[in-house]
Amino acid sequence: MKKILILNGPNLNLLGKREPGVYGNQSFEDYFETLKGLFPDIELHYFQSNHEGALIDKIHEVGFTFDGIVINAGGYTHTSIALADALSAVTTPAVEVHISNIHARETFRHHSYLTSRCKGMICGLGLKGYELAVRTF
């Protein structure tokens, strides 16, 4: 059975409450139940942290044994060379996901330090992007 980690960064614990016009009304925990129903033959794991080091530690923990990492690093996407280095250091492939279209937002969001370390990036498709990312593994 494939094992895939969904890794969410800062402020994504507020999905369903935070800026519903941008991020929707559903919590990620509720959506994660939907994902598990869509992929009964995949062992899905979920981890969220507002702390960069905790995200790096989780990448290190699963990065040699899991079949995939779906990562939405939130604001760290645009600032964290350390997260990019962690993705480079492991053998597990990753797909970058963003709920909103980062290229249609503020200019500082247009650059991602993670994209070159991932096998692909999905943005602007809402929570559906996570489903599409899981399908790539």
The tokens describing 96, both together, are: 């970058």
Q: What is the pLDDT of residue 95?
A: 98
The question of whether 98 is a catalytic residue gets the answer yes
- Check residue 107 and give its pLDDT: 83
CA distance between the termini of the chain: 12
Q: Which of 31, 98, 113, 130 is catalytic?
A: 98
For the stretch 65-83, pLDDT in tens is 999 999 999 999 999 999 9
Tens digit of pLDDT at every position of the chain (137 positions):
999 999 999 999 998 887 777 777 889 999 999 999 999 999 999 999 999 999 999 999 999 999 999 999 999 999 999 999 999 999 999 999 999 888 767 686 778 999 999 999 999 999 999 999 999 99
Domains and CATH numbers, the chain: 2-135 (3.40.50.9100)
pLDDT of 26 reads 86
If you search the block for the tokens 């990065």, which residue do you land on? 63
Strands in 120-123's sheet, in edge-to-edge order, are 42-48, 2-8, 68-72, 94-98, 120-123
Distance (Å, whole) CA 101 – CA 98: 7
Whether residue 103 lies in the annotated active site: no
